[in-house]
Amino acid sequence: MHVTKRPQDKARLHPRNKNRERYDLPALMTAIPDLKNYVRPNKFGVQSIDFSNSVAIKLLNKALLHHYYGITDWDFPDENLCPPIPGRADYLHHMADLLGESNSGTIPIGGNISCLDVGMGASCIYPIIGVTEYGWQFIGSDTNPKSLGSAQQIINSNAALKGKIECRLQENPRLIFQGILNASDTIDLVLCNPPFHASIEEAQKGTRRKIKNLSGKKVKTPALNFGGLYSELVYEGGESKFIQNMIWESRKYAKNCLWFTTLVSKQSNLTRIHKLLEQIEAAEIKEIPMGTGNKTTRIVAWTFLFKEEQTAWAKAR
């Protein structure tokens, strides 16, 4: 087993990220004119948007997808999680680099590459970026039929996405791959942004803290994370338990998948995750830091294929 930790690049987005520099607000307001209603000078006198306003955040993300990714119709219920586009894109770019390492240093593009997004959500965000940036094919799984219906509506409404993303319902919320992957599925990359909180109380506490940091306002019972269903934010045992279940189950699909990956928000969970990956005898483990603004997080990736098997996989694909 080989473990690799990449050095930390302090709080900078990936070099290929379209939003590495300041937002081009005039271009974004042209893409989505309603965004103008939420642009005003910040405390430094610079034009910005109110990041504590959930409507403003959703309009900003719509504008980013329209202007940079060509997605003209992107909507979902306000109760669902609204993803920050630059951070989601960073995950995809780092994963493209990872696939490139198994492919003689060349990032693979096009429909031969198949990805599974565990817990795709109503916004369909990882498949959207993966399809528009790299031309990959996606399976998106979710435990919520309404979220899948919303994602399917986004796919149907944008020509660039049609035929590239398949939605699959996970009927058993305790399972991750079983019931989603078939014996014949060959997956180059598994992506996952796991539920973060262990309880609804913990989720509300986190959202109160976020709103106070952004706006200085105290809110007793905030809308979870500016939208976010229980299943998107809460899992019994929290992030740690979800990822442990994912790791245990990944063994059954060791030959179906090249790389299993997940975001890990809490650094305190890493020791347990690494120990479990060693216990199940993963052939290679990688820890990839990501920095977005003031937040530092990381991706943990593992494979059951040794280097020569990874190379053979890439050639066959």
Please write the tens of the pLDDT for every residue from 32-84: 999 999 999 988 889 999 888 889 999 999 999 999 999 999 999 988 888 99
Summarised one tens digit per residue, pLDDT across range 144-170 is 999 999 999 999 999 999 999 999 999
The answer to the question of residue 94 being in a domain is yes
The answer to the question of residue 57 being in a domain is no
Please check the confidence at residue 23 and state whether its pLDDT lies above 80: yes
The answer to whether 151 and 124 have CB atoms below 8 angstroms apart is yes
The answer to the question of residue 63 being in a domain is no
The answer to the question of residue 148 being in a domain is yes
Confidence of residue 218 (pLDDT cuts 50, 70, 90): low
| Domain coverage including residue 162 | 2-14+76-316
> Residue 83: how many CA atoms within 13 Å on its side-chain side?
25
The answer to the question of residue 36 being in a domain is no
The answer to the question of residue 310 being in a domain is yes
Task: Give the sheet arrangement for strand 284-292, strand by strand.
Answer: 2-5, 284-292, 295-303, 257-264, 187-192, 114-118, 137-142, 165-169
**% of the chain surpassing 90 pLDDT:** 71
The answer to the question of residue 38 being in a domain is no
The answer to the question of residue 28 being in a domain is no
pTM over 0.75: yes
How many domains in the chain? 1
CATH number at residue 225: 3.40.50.150
What is the reported pLDDT for 203? 47
